[in-house]
């Protein structure tokens, strides 16, 4: 599996909003600026066939209209969007706000499949969608990819919760929210991450959604098995 950390920042700094590109045709979340950021790594957004959305805060899905519009102009119309049920309306509404006149034609031409299943297959991966805890914002999901050989987790926005621990139990590699130095009831912090690092010493952790002071502190602490990456870092998982 090839993962590109497109965004490792929170929405309030110079780093891109949390988002991932997997094997060049799957993305997890489509935040503000995602399509531009894909172009920056040489990927035309029209080549993305699978979009997995974690929840419906703007910094996780506001580029969906740009993606659908681009897709409508390209021959490759394959477009599967995995999300929670409430998100289907939100994506369509956002497209209308962004591009009122072409919106209907875009939907007719692209015919995106909106899929709300908890378990599904994407390319050769079996994917499990797990509910995490992002405070009042409900539902918010994380995703576990199973290649048959290894499992990789993507947490979505979350505080420390049972399903995040489950993710750490079954995965060898976890990409997770670590927004703050001190965790809250909505987001992880370094204190909560340290708990996971101690409890799951075999897991490799890649924090994202980081505020700048959190990033600096994490680099300074240099915790075992915690890899603090910049935007556009490429990771091979075998």
125/206 with CB nearer Zn ion: 206
Cβ 183 to Zn ion shortest distance, Å: 14
What is the side-by-side order of every strand in the sheet holding 204-208?
Answer: 119-122, 125-132, 140-146, 151-154, 173-177, 204-208
Separation between Cα atoms, residue 32 and residue 185, nearest integer Å:
24
Separation between Cα atoms, residue 25 and residue 176, nearest integer Å:
21
Cβ 220 to Zn ion shortest distance, Å: 24
Cβ 59 to Zn ion shortest distance, Å: 4
Bridge partners, residue 213, by sequence: none
Among 11, 52, 14, smallest CA distance to 30 is for 52
- Give the residues lining the site for Zn ion (CB under 5 A): 57, 59, 157
H and E: helices and strands count for the chain: 8, 13
Question: Are 183 and 153 a contacting pair, CB within 8 Å?
Answer: no
Residues in the chain: 238
Residue whose beta carbon is closest to Zn ion: 57
Cβ 105 to Zn ion shortest distance, Å: 31
Separation between Cα atoms, residue 161 and residue 181, nearest integer Å:
17
Cβ 53 to Zn ion shortest distance, Å: 11
């Amino acid at each position: 599996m090839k993962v590109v950390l497109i965004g490792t920042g929170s929405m309030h700094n110079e780093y891109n909003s949390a988002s991932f590109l997997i094997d060049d045709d799957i993305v997890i979340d489509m935040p503000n600026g995602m399509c531009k950021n894909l172009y920056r790594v040489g990927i035309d957004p029209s080549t993305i066939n699978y979009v997995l959305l974690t929840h419906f805060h703007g910094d996780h899905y506001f580029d969906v209209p740009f993606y659908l519009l681009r897709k409508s102009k390209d021959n490759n119309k394959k477009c599967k969007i995995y999300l929670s049920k409430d998100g289907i309306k939100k994506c369509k509404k956002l497209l209308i706000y962004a591009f009122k006149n072409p919106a209907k034609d875009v939907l007719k031409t692209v015919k995106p499949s909106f899929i709300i299943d908890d378990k599904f297959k994407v390319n050769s991966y079996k994917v499990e969608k797990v509910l995490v805890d992002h405070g009042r914002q409900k539902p918010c999901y994380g995703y576990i990819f199973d290649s048959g050989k290894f499992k990789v987790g993507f947490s979505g926005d979350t505080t420390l919760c049972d399903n995040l621990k489950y993710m750490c139990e079954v995965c060898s590699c976890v990409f997770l929210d670590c927004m703050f130095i001190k965790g809250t009831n909505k987001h992880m912090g370094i204190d909560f991450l340290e708990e996971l690092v101690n409890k799951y010493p075999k897991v490799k952790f890649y924090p994202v959604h980081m505020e700048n002071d959190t990033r600096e502190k994490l680099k300074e602490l240099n915790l075992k098995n915690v890899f603090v990456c910049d935007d556009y870092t490429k990771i091979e998982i075998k």
